[in-house]
């Protein structure tokens, strides 16, 4: 599959997000899935995908510490699209062991503790579900961060050994919100309260005007530590706004 990436990139040059998604959904069927964090970009993708492939796979990582507003989006999605979503939880034994040893709010105590919590609550469940697909779809956009300026619509994910599809790579934040409003897509109400990036409740706060989009994530840590480890490019972690 890795060898096909350049060929696929050439084949899909200058294709719209819809064309890219339609072709890949047809080609990969049950072996392609959207990883949804329920943020604005993933809600746009959910809407586009379900309009063209109502049975397409969409999965959500429920860390157990999501804000109530995010759980409300899951409920709203189920009603709006009249379907179920794949929801993955942390491994019970691993989580019980972590919390028993370090307490429920371990992440405030050190970067190592925070990474351990992200590993148990997010990374391991993600790796578990990625074993079931050949392609994962993400809502990454180039504009989200300087670390993302090189993002391609089709990439090889070295760390997970599969194809990664970023159909919104070229979209601006204005385009994302234009799509949401025009299509009446459900969205997380925290976005209306200055939360551009929404993760777990204890690790997310609102941002002040002019602040970096990720300033509200793990705000107590130095910027170079702000990652959860879900996305890698060229062996380096790519920071993500909504996971």
Residue 41 contacts residue 139 (beta carbons within 8 Å): yes
Q: Is 117 in the site for ligand SF4 (CB under 6 A)?
A: yes
Please name which of 167, 185, 164, 177 lies closest in space to residue 18, comparing C-alpha atoms. 167
Stretch of 4-12, 152-160, 175-183, 198-206 lying at the interface with ligand SF4 (CB under 6 A): 198-206
**Shorter beta-carbon distance to ligand SF4: residue 167 or 196:** 196
Vertex 205: Cα angle to 201 and 211 (nearest 5): 150
Of the candidate residues 48, 49, 50, 118, the single one contacting ligand SF4 (CB under 6 A): 118
169 part of the interface to ligand SF4, by CB under 6 A: no
Task: Give the closest residue to 150 by CA, choosing from 174, 170, 136, 134.
Answer: 170
Near ligand SF4 by CB under 6 A, which window of 45-53, 115-123, 136-144, 159-167? 115-123
Minimal distance in Å, beta carbon 70 to ligand SF4?
11
Task: Work out how close the CB of 74 gets to ligand SF4 at its nearest, in angstroms, rounded to a whole number.
Answer: 16
Sheet containing 135-137: which strands, arranged edge to edge?
Answer: 86-88, 57-61, 32-36, 135-137, 162-165, 154-157
Neighbouring CB atoms inside 10 A of 236's CB total: 10
Which 4-63 positions form the footprint of ligand SF4 (CB under 6 A)? Answer: 63
Q: Which residues bind ligand SF4 (CB under 6 A)?
A: 63, 65, 107, 114, 117-118, 121-122, 199-200, 202-203, 228
């Amino acid at each position: 599959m890795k060898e096909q990436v350049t060929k696929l990139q050439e084949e899909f040059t200058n294709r719209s997000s819809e064309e890219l998604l339609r072709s890949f959904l047809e080609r990969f069927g049950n072996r392609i899935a959207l990883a949804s964090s329920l943020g604005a970009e993933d809600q746009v993708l959910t809407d586009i995908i379900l309009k063209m492939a109502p049975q397409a796979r969409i999965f959500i990582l429920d860390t157990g510490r999501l804000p109530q507003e995010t759980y409300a989006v899951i409920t709203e999605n189920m009603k709006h699209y009249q379907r179920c979503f794949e929801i993955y939880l942390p491994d019970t034994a691993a989580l019980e062991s972590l919390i028993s040893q370090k307490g429920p709010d371990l992440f405030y105590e050190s970067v190592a503790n925070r990474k351990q919590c992200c590993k148990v609550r997010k990374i391991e469940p993600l790796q578990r579900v990625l074993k079931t697909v050949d392609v994962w779809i993400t809502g990454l956009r180039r504009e989200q961060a300087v670390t993302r300026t090189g993002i391609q619509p089709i990439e090889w994910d070295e760390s997970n050994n599969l194809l990664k599809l970023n159909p919104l790579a070229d979209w601006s934040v204005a385009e994302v919100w234009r799509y949401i409003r025009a299509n009446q897509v459900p969205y997380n109400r925290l976005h209306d309260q200055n939360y551009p990036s929404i993760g777990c409740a204890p690790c997310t706060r609102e941002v002040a005007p002019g602040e970096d989009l990720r300033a509200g994530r793990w705000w107590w840590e130095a910027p170079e530590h702000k990652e959860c480890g879900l996305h890698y490019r060229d062996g380096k972690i790519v920071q993500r706004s909504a996971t």
